[in-house]
Amino acid sequence: MAEYSRYARNITKGKLPYENWNSFYTEYMGSADRLSRVQFSLNFISLLYTEEVWQEDGLRQIGTEFVELFKKVLDSDYSKDNIEDITLFRAKMKNRMECLVTYTDRYMIYQYVLNCLRYKFDDYDYDDYSDEEFTKELINFITSDRDQSTMKYKTMEVLKSIPIRMTRNRFFEMVSDGFSIYNEGDLDTLLSFDYMIRGAAMTHEPENMESNFPDLYEYSRHFEGLDFDNLDNDQFFVEDITLKECIDFLNNQVTTYDILAQLVNQLYVRVLTSEFADRKSEDYIASDNLAKKALLKFNPEETFEVDEELTEHLVELEGIQEDELEELEEAEGRFEDILQSKFCGECEYEIGLQLDTVDDICKLLSTSYFADLDEENSTGAKVTQADIDKYFADFRAELEPKLKSSCKLLSRAIMAAVIGYLPMNFSNTEELREYIYNSLSACTNLPEKMALVERLEELMNDDEDWD
């Protein structure tokens, strides 16, 4: 295992800093190359052998485009001349994934609305339900985990699913309080919050939303214009089936684009680290053979399983990913120490490109697949009251007309989605309990309430997944 801790300690203490940095950098690049190669090969097989990718026209087109990009990189032996093409493809993926996230926000709202209507047309036993007892169950669910981030996420999921009964003015007061939390904080954090709640409110629309996914766009407009409050039995079940088909289509798109996002990042890392690859190692030969042979055998017109020859190479790569992830996690922690060192500040001119490369690789191999590699896009500014007033006023100006023109159920669903993202500052568990209880007891529409109760019960029944 590489001695990243020792290298970083020597650098921060000024002991042969150049020599230790060179050792750190060389070992990091070799490890990053190894991890990206193994991950790329495994994900590439997953892409090529996922039948749904090659059956749907849009996915087939983008999948083919990536395969051609990989062939080009392969033919050039991972030359850095390919970085521009990889960057362009990555930007395309980022835009399309942003569209898919926006569609996901919208379709979850439509699903919320139809779920609220379900027991208007289906039978449900209301006799054993109690607002007070159910509130206790929800509080127990939220507080059963001592991890603060898990509790916060559970609270958010519950608040997004309980019935909403409040005036628009009260709702916007809550949103205003949410914006105020960010006063004097980092402007980038406020911008991220504004982006999330605009997505939840269905007011955010990325570029190319219609051209990238015309069917999702058409059906989104259809659902947004429905008078949900006055659907009859037959109309409800038609719309319910249509929505489920749209969500299945959306999930398939998200799954494939998730794989593509990982692949393009891993390919980027392979290009950046190519000169540090140990091309004689068994894992290099296995991963290289796996990708090349998969390309030769690939035929999108056929449905087939991974054959024995490819399986043998997959077996040869077992365990490598876990070892390298552990190694790089240690390296990234020590890299942060190095960035704060006197040596780094004094010698940035000499090693600046290397520092940027390591920083880029850390981002590319993280779970934030579209982390911005351009530091200049970070504002570094602090939030002022004028910023708070502006972003809140803009948000209200966009959303209020939509709430006024939408049917009641859709308006409530939008408000519920936004509230789920607000930084709710309950001073204690009792305040949270009161909020939940009041929201449940204020809803006198039993079919709507029971549908939401069922959704919350499903959330609690999945509690074992929260670990």
Average pLDDT over residues 248-258: 94
DSSP string covering 135-175:
HHHHHHHHHT---HHHHHHHHHHHHHHS-----HHHHHHHH
Q: pTM for the full model?
A: 0.85
Mind listing the pLDDT tens digit for each residue in 46-63? 898 888 888 899 999 999
Number of compact structural domains in the chain: 1
Residue 360: inside a domain: yes
Mind listing the pLDDT tens digit for each residue in 97-133? 999 999 999 999 999 899 888 888 877 666 678 999 9
Alpha-carbon distance values, 367 to 55, 100, 378, 390 (Å) = 28, 17, 19, 32
Give yes or no for a contact between 418 and 124, defined as CB atoms under 8 angstroms apart.
no
Average pLDDT over residues 171-185: 92
Q: Which domain holds residue 324?
A: 4-97+254-377
Residue 438: inside a domain: no
Ranking 215-219, 231-235, 264-268, 314-318 by mean pLDDT, the lowest is 314-318
Residue 400: inside a domain: no
What's the confidence (pLDDT) of residue 222?
Answer: 94
Residue 203: inside a domain: no
What's the confidence (pLDDT) of residue 25?
Answer: 94
- Pull the structure tokens for residue 54: 């090659």
User: pLDDT tier at 157 (50, 70, 90 boundaries)?
Assistant: confident
What's the confidence (pLDDT) of residue 258?
Answer: 94
What's the confidence (pLDDT) of residue 425?
Answer: 72
Q: How many CB atoms lie within 10 A of CB 263?
A: 24
Give yes or no for a contact between 388 and 179, defined as CB atoms under 8 angstroms apart.
yes
From the list 171, 244, 98, 180, the residue with the least C-alpha distance to 413 is 171
Residue 150: inside a domain: no
Residue 227: inside a domain: no
Residue 261: inside a domain: yes
d(CA 269, CA 364): 7
Q: How many residues does the chain have?
A: 467
CA angle 21, 27, 31 (to 5 degrees): 140
What's the confidence (pLDDT) of residue 92?
Answer: 95
- The top-scoring range by mean pLDDT among 214-223, 411-420, 446-455 is 214-223
Mind listing the pLDDT tens digit for each residue in 363-379? 999 888 888 877 655 55
From the list 271, 275, 354, the residue with the least C-alpha distance to 87 is 271
Residue 278: inside a domain: yes
Mind listing the pLDDT tens digit for each residue in 56-88? 999 999 999 999 999 999 999 999 999 999 999
Q: Which helix (H) or strand (E) holds 376?
A: none
